[in-house]
Amino acid sequence: MKSAGITISGLTVGYGGPPVLDQVSLQVRPGGTTAVLGPSGSGKTTLLRALAGFVRPARGRIEVDGKVLTGGQVLVAPERRGIGYVRQDGALFPHLDVTGNILFGLPRVERRRADQVGPLLELVGLSPSLARRRPDELSGGQQQRVALARALAREPAVVLLDEPFSSLDTALRAATREATLNALTARGATTVLVTHDQAEALSFADQVAVILDGRLAQIGSPAEVYDAPATPEVGRVLGDTMLLAGRADSRVVNCVLGTLDLAEPATGEVLVMIRPEQLVLGNPSGPAARVMSVAYHGPEAMVRLGLPDATTRLVARVPGHHAPQPGDTVHLTVPAQVRSFPKKHPHTSPDS
Ligand SMILES: Nc1ncnc2c1ncn2[C@@H]1O[C@H](COP(=O)(O)OP(=O)(O)OP(=O)(O)O)[C@@H](O)[C@H]1O
């Protein structure tokens, strides 16, 4: 399969009302994997639908491998785009077995080649012995992998995945995600994954696009968007954040947690963004806080903390076996460099 790059320019889509995607422009490199992350209703599925050719954009252009699929008068039909689409529910045909599902819709000549089913199943991490099972004889994760094998059977240059793992439990989800990524990489497919799940986006993709209210708020590597979000809102989409009022002076900022180092210089009134894992408990040089509650999750615990000012509430993520007890007094430090944003509104509570 040939890898193909995707270029989306000024894409605006509405369903008769105000645009649900507004002037979105982004690129996916050939063979690259981009995760699209954003709150519910932000327009993620609409972006995939526009790529697949299921909706006609009001404006904008979509090119795959340098060929215009959408733009001006051009609207290439979905089946002629060379794009595979795997939906959240897998959408297998219940009356067809695995082989029938994978070969469905292929040209008649290729459909006779049932021998391609075994290698495809292996590619997505399934045993070829499942080839004659029907969907109701498969687990959710197996069904998702069959759906992926069906998409790959057409050898699409681009594969779109719309929350394909969200109905699976944690262990199955990780295994299916890995099998999917391996299969896509082996085929050199260019992939766009829509997800709500921050960890999934950060671990699956080489590029993360954050969509807020129909607009592309930021695009970059997983580390860029997580560590250096363009706005507090992007920061929040990527994970839990706390915003503290502070006064910046070049590379440092003074806030209720003391003097912290800034990753980027700033001056004046700012909001300091702190992630729960940046708060370190135990160093007596830091301000004291009282443990309000502890949510134990096994490998980690989320510790809710109150500062003596009685208004600042913080959350620290600590290793599960290091969790303090409610009522304990702990000391807080932030050894990491932190990010700041120009101050727009006062906000001193954790928003997680
Ligand atoms: N067929 C449609 N007709 C009218 N409005 C629609 C249609 N499909 C989606 N919308 C609206 O467009 C907006 C974006 O929807 P979209 O499904 O793209 O969001 P999303 O980010 O994928 O959401 P979710 O994460 O909940 O699936 C929403 O406000 C939604 O109500």
pLDDT in tens, 163-177: 888 777 777 778 878
Which 8-state DSSP code applies to residue 203?
H
- CA pair distance 241, 234, nearest whole angstrom: 10
Q: What domain range includes position 311?
A: 241-342
Structure tokens at 143: 């069904």
Q: What's the 40 CA to ligand 1 centre distance in angstroms?
A: 8
Q: What's the 46 CA to ligand 1 centre distance in angstroms?
A: 6
Strand pairing category for 33-37 and 207-212: parallel
Residue 53's φ and ψ, nearest 5 degrees, are 90, 20
Q: What's the 152 CA to ligand 1 centre distance in angstroms?
A: 26
pLDDT in tens, 102-121: 988 777 656 556 678 888 88
Judgement on whether residues 159 and 187 belong to the same structural domain of the protein: yes
Supply the residue whose CA is at minimum distance from atom 13 of ligand 1: 41
Q: Report helix, strand or coil for 81.
A: coil
pTM of the model: 0.88
Supply the residue whose CA is at minimum distance from atom 17 of ligand 1: 45
Q: What's the 213 CA to ligand 1 centre distance in angstroms?
A: 11
Which CATH number does the domain housing residue 223 bear?
3.40.50.300
Q: Which of 213, 233, 253 is the last residue of a domain?
A: 233
ipTM above 0.90, yes or no: yes
Q: Is the pLDDT of residue 196 over 90?
A: no
Q: Which of 187, 213, 233 is the last residue of a domain?
A: 233
Q: Which of 233, 249, 284 is the last residue of a domain?
A: 233
